[in-house]
Amino acid sequence: MDLGLRDKVVLVTGGAKGIGAAIVRACSAEGAIPVIVDRDAGAAESLLLSLGSAPCAFFDAELEKTSSCERAVHLAAQRFGCLDALVNNAGVNDGVGLASGSPASFVQSLERNLIHYYAMAHFALPLLRQSAGSIVNIASKTAVTGQGGTSGYVAAKGAILGLTREWAAELASSGVRVNAVVPAEVMTPLYRQWLSQFPDPEAQREKIVARIPLGKRMTTCEEIAAAVVFLLSPQSAHTTGQHLFIDGGYVHLDRALG
């Protein structure tokens, strides 16, 4: 299906690896122009090379710094003259818990996982209004299920779901759509790193996938990316304020199925 994204400029934070890289590849495959905003220059350059001659760009940014967010949007607009979509994706489940963390580390976790979502949207907003564009926020199932031991990350992801609805309401009159994609268990580099902390990572993985009703497997990065590009596209022109769970039924179906 042609999703109607050809030549659309799509800025993806955390676009160098994992889910972000899959989104970049999916956008490029649809003829869009992905703009990677990430601090991992090596991974970003490798991804750009894999896209061949397809138009794309990379801007190095430390997203915890508001000035870096503003600079990334400015450079994208300067390079391409417009911005049609923003995918807020960057973040890390950093394990800042209620007992294990501190008020200071909690604030730092929000800076890693939440504040740049607002900053990127704020600075991109004039351009998105001009293009009647779209925002997709990547959230997490932990926002609705909890996890334990990760208060900062869960607070950020819960806020992201709330902001998705708030921005959709605020921007509806501008024609700018805002939606969230909510992954659960996806094998990204960060997820693999988390698994490696267990005495038997493979046994832990099998324990997790046994609880996923559809297919008893993890969701792929490409499946998350497919949902994102659909929400960015004119094919979802009347969809806004939605939380789309791509998780094989992990969150909402009866646990007895697992």
Q: Which amino acids are annotated catalytic?
A: 153
Q: How far apart are CA 202 and CA 208, in angstroms?
A: 10
8 Å CB contact between 228 and 87: yes
Residue 33's DSSP bridge partners are: 9
- Integer angstrom CA distances of residue 131 from 85, 95, 99, 125, 139: 9, 38, 45, 10, 24
Helix, strand or coil, per DSSP, at residue 134: strand
Q: What is the DSSP letter of 135?
A: E
Best CA proximity match to 124, nearest among 90, 164, 74: 74
Q: How far apart are CA 227 and CA 233, in angstroms?
A: 10
Q: How far apart are CA 85 and CA 158, in angstroms?
A: 22
Residue 39's φ and ψ, nearest 5 degrees, are -100, -10
- CB neighbour list of residue 137: distance below 8 Å, 6 or more residues apart: 87, 88, 117, 160, 161, 163, 164, 178, 179, 180, 181
Q: Are strands 57-60 and 177-183 parallel, antiparallel or unpaired?
A: unpaired
